[in-house]
């Protein structure tokens, strides 16, 4: 009896403490990857070129895109992604490659300010039938047996991931990627570029970021825009962006004064304005079911300095900035112009100026509560386009890639940085951005 008591007591203690023991085995006091440092201007320029090289010549036509990426390029993308999502202080990830194998290292710092503790993951995937298959997994000092890895993946997929719409969308995306070859310094893949699917993926991504409360705000903003354009005579072909900004921001200013969240009001209004100004379906933000209950707002061109494209640039980039942050918006802005220089109408400093205005406007509208309310008040009192938008008539636009490179080399060159500083100073001098 004494032996049985001892045995069962020991078994119970072992059972109850095994999770703690496993946790202790996985915890470490040092990360396996050095801390992320901010990207330099040269690295950001390299990132812009990398994204440009990944894009097909035509974004609107289906195609097979062959992509060759160095391991250093992949790690650069990972570093910047973590910084853009404000995860770099807790997470870090690096990849290494060898023949037909990709090795991963991932660090997670526990949210304990006084004690630096990390869970360090490591894994390896092998190329099998043009896809990657995880075959090795480790956590801290714990090495998971290879025979368990497949069972763990199946368990996670069946119990957690299969019920997630986001995971199913990612699965569909992965099905369009074929691994052609893996070497020590280079990974070659083929992407089945399908514009309709990628547009659907973009719409899903937007909706994932929008809460039910935000949907209600967006519907309210959209109905207000519809009320505004309904009062405009049918023979009027276009309106100034000032008219739209002035009235809509006056409404959200009243809401904020009455106690509404000014940051949420500004974010959702900028998202709604971007949809309207670009003549897109409001369902992209709130889904088809909610959109079916709304009247279709009459579309009328919105212009800046008599140009519809400038208003579209300001609205689009302001929405991206409000939703995802100024760093990503600036990166996409410059990359878009570089893409135009290579494949389309040429690099445009006028478009880049409008993009920069969108970043500046949304950054201040989302800075903090006081700044958000002040921007609402100022935008509701707009008198002229020149209150927030610099003149662009003296810009050199339509520069092909060869001409742009001959003058500016790339976005890290002294000449380019000087030109961007001039644009930034012109924007900062505008009344709406003063003293904020």
Sign of CA dihedral 304, 309, 311, 317: negative
Q: Is 90 exceeded by the pLDDT of residue 202?
A: no
Q: Quick one: 122 and 251 in the same domain?
A: no
Q: Quick one: 190 and 63 in the same domain?
A: yes
- In a domain, residue 14? The reply is no
- In a domain, residue 19? The reply is no
Q: Quick one: 405 and 376 in the same domain?
A: yes
Q: Quick one: 160 and 230 in the same domain?
A: no
pLDDT confidence of residue 56: 86
Rounded to 5 degrees, what are φ and ψ at 425? -65, -40
Q: Is 50 exceeded by the pLDDT of residue 370?
A: yes
Q: Quick one: 192 and 317 in the same domain?
A: no
List, as one string, the DSSP characters of 233-300.
-TT--EEEHHHHHHHHHHHHHHHHHTT--HHHHHHHHHHHHHHHHTT--THHHH-HHHHHTSPPPPP-
List, as one string, the DSSP characters of 269-288.
HHHHHHHHHTT--THHHH-H
Number of domains in the chain: 2
List, as one string, the DSSP characters of 166-221.
HHHHHHHHHHTEEEEEE-SSEEEEEEEE-HHHHHHHHHHHHHHT--HHHHHHHHHH
Q: How confident is the model at residue 25 (pLDDT cuts 50, 70, 90)?
A: low
pTM of the model as a whole:
0.84
Strand-pair partners of 106: 93, 121
The domain in which residue 107 lies consists of 24-196
Q: Quick one: 289 and 353 in the same domain?
A: yes
36 vs 268, higher pLDDT: 268
Q: Quick one: 234 and 163 in the same domain?
A: no
What token pair was written down for 434?
A: 């003063």
Q: How confident is the model at residue 24 (pLDDT cuts 50, 70, 90)?
A: low
Q: Quick one: 275 and 169 in the same domain?
A: no
User: Collapsing DSSP states into helix, strand and coil, what is residue 325?
Assistant: coil
Instruction: State how far the Cα of 342 lies from the Cα of 42, in Å rounded to an integer.
Output: 20
Q: Could you report the per-residue pLDDT of 56-99, keeping only the tens digit for each?
A: 888 888 999 898 889 999 999 899 888 887 888 889 999 999 99
Instruction: State how far the Cα of 301 lies from the Cα of 320, in Å rounded to an integer.
Output: 21
Q: How confident is the model at residue 160 (pLDDT cuts 50, 70, 90)?
A: low
Q: Quick one: 153 and 300 in the same domain?
A: no
Average the pLDDT over each of 16-30, 47-61, 148-162, 394-408 and give the range with the smallest value.
16-30
Q: Quick one: 350 and 273 in the same domain?
A: yes
Which of 141, 165, 196 is the endpoint of a domain?
196
pLDDT confidence of residue 204: 73
Q: How confident is the model at residue 272 (pLDDT cuts 50, 70, 90)?
A: very high
Q: How confident is the model at residue 17 (pLDDT cuts 50, 70, 90)?
A: very low
Q: Is residue 387 within 8 Å of 430, Cβ to Cβ?
A: yes
pLDDT confidence of residue 14: 47
- In a domain, residue 207? The reply is no
Segment of 128-132, 253-257, 296-300, 338-342 carrying the highest mean pLDDT: 253-257
Q: How confident is the model at residue 342 (pLDDT cuts 50, 70, 90)?
A: confident
Q: Could you report the per-residue pLDDT of 220-250, keeping only the tens digit for each?
A: 999 999 999 999 998 999 999 999 999 999 9
- In a domain, residue 1? The reply is no
Average the pLDDT over each of 119-133, 135-149, 276-290 and give the range with the smallest value.
135-149
Average the pLDDT over each of 95-104, 203-212, 320-329 and give the range with the smallest value.
203-212
243 vs 138, higher pLDDT: 243
């Amino acid at each position: 009896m004494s032996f049985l008591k001892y045995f069962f007591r020991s078994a119970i203690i072992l059972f109850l403490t095994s999770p703690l023991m496993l946790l202790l085995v996985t915890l470490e006091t040092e990360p396996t990857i050095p801390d992320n440092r901010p990207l330099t201007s040269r690295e950001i320029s390299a990132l812009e070129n990398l994204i440009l090289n990944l894009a097909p010549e035509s974004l609107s036509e289906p195609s097979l895109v062959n992509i060759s990426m160095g391991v250093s390029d992949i790690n650069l993308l990972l570093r910047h992604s973590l910084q853009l999502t404000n995860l770099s202080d807790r997470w870090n990830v690096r990849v290494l490659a060898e023949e037909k194998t990709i090795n991963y290292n991932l660090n997670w710092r526990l949210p304990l300010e006084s004690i630096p503790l990390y869970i360090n993951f490591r894994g390896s995937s092998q190329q099998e039938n043009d896809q990657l298959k995880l075959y090795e997994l480790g956590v801290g000092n714990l090495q998971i047996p290879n025979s368990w890895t497949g069972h763990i993946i199946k368990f996670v997929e069946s119990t957690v991931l299969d019920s997630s719409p986001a995971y199913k969308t990612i699965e569909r995306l992965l099905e369009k990627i074929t691994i052609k070859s893996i070497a020590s310094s280079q990974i070659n893949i083929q992407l089945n570029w399908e514009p309709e699917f990628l547009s659907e993926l973009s719409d899903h991504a937007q909706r994932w970021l929008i809460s039910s409360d935000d949907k209600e705000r967006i519907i309210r903003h959209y109905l207000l825009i519809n009320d505004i354009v309904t009062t405009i005579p049918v023979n009027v072909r276009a309106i100034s962006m000032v008219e739209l900004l002035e009235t809509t921001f006056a409404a959200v200013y009243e809401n904020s004064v009455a106690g509404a969240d000014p940051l949420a009001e500004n974010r959702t209004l900028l998202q709604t304005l971007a949809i309207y100004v670009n003549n897109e379906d409001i369902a992209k933000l709130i889904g088809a079911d909610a959109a079916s209950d709304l009247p279709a707002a009459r579309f009328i061109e919105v212009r800046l300095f008599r140009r519809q494209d400038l208003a579209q640039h300001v609205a689009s980039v302001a929405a991206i900035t409000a939703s995802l942050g100024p760093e990503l918006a600036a990166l996409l802005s410059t990359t878009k112009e570089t893409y135009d220089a290579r494949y389309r109408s040429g690099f445009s400093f006028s478009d880049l100026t409008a993009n920069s205005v969108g970043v500046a406007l949304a950054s201040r509208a989302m800075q903090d509560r006081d700044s958000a309310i002040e921007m609402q008040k100022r935008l509701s009192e707009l008198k002229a386009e020149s209150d927030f938008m610099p003149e662009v008539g003296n810009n050199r636009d339509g520069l092909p890639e060869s001409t742009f490179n001959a003058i500016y080399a790339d976005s890290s060159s002294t000449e380019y940085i000087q030109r961007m500083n001039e644009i930034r100073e012109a924007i900062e001098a505008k009344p709406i951005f003063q003293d904020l």
